[in-house]
């Protein structure tokens, strides 16, 4: 690394490292990337890949099954997006058929949580419901599937 390589191959560099050392190594990898070093990183840690990689290749049986930017990969596929909503009156229905494209719904603490296949239509319907019932939005969170979720879906191991 001290010679400033143009390309650096790393195979599971954080395996067995404690949290502090892993964080230091991640910072060093990011610094190298900023200086223009191309890094080929082999890892089983999908959170690490999602955090460090510009592009990801998911391998299945020795072949590339999917490539793309982490955000691109997590935005596609059958994985459901989690929409968590909290309102003043807490009168949102907890039902999968209450809003369009919701596959599953549940209540947790002060939130109504919807798992949607199409967040645009679901969020639009939720906002309309809140407005129609003179309620006020306190919090709205949208969480797409993680790279690990998509990896498991792509490799059919989930």
Return the pLDDT at 78.
Answer: 67
Closest CA to 30 of 16, 10, 46: 10
% of the chain exceeding 90 in pLDDT: 78
Query: Does the pLDDT of residue 158 top 90, yes or no?
Result: no
Return the pLDDT at 76.
Answer: 75
Q: Is pTM, for the whole model, over 0.85?
A: no
Query: Does the pLDDT of residue 69 top 80, yes or no?
Result: yes
Structure tokens at 49: 């890949």
Return the pLDDT at 120.
Answer: 92
Q: How confident is the model at residue 117 (pLDDT cuts 50, 70, 90)?
A: confident
Mean pLDDT of 116-126: 93
């Amino acid at each position: 690394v001290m010679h400033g390589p143009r390309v650096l191959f790393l195979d599971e560099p954080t395996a067995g490292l404690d949290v502090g050392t892993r964080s230091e190594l991640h910072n060093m990898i990011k610094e190298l990337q900023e200086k223009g070093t191309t890094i080929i990183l082999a890892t089983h840690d999908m959170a690490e890949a999602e955090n460090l990689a510009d592009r990801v290749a998911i391998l299945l049986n020795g072949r590339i099954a999917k490539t793309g930017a982490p955000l691109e990969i997590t935005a596609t596929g059958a994985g459901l997006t989690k929409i968590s909503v909290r309102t003043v009156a807490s009168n949102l229905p907890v039902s999968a058929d209450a809003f369009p494209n919701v596959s599953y719904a549940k209540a947790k603490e002060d939130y109504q949580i919807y798992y949607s296949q199409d967040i645009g239509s679901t969020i639009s319907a939720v906002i309309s419901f809140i407005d129609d019932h003179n309620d006020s939005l306190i919090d709205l969170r949208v969480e797409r599937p993680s790279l690990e979720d998509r990896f498991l879906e792509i490799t059919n191991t989930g």
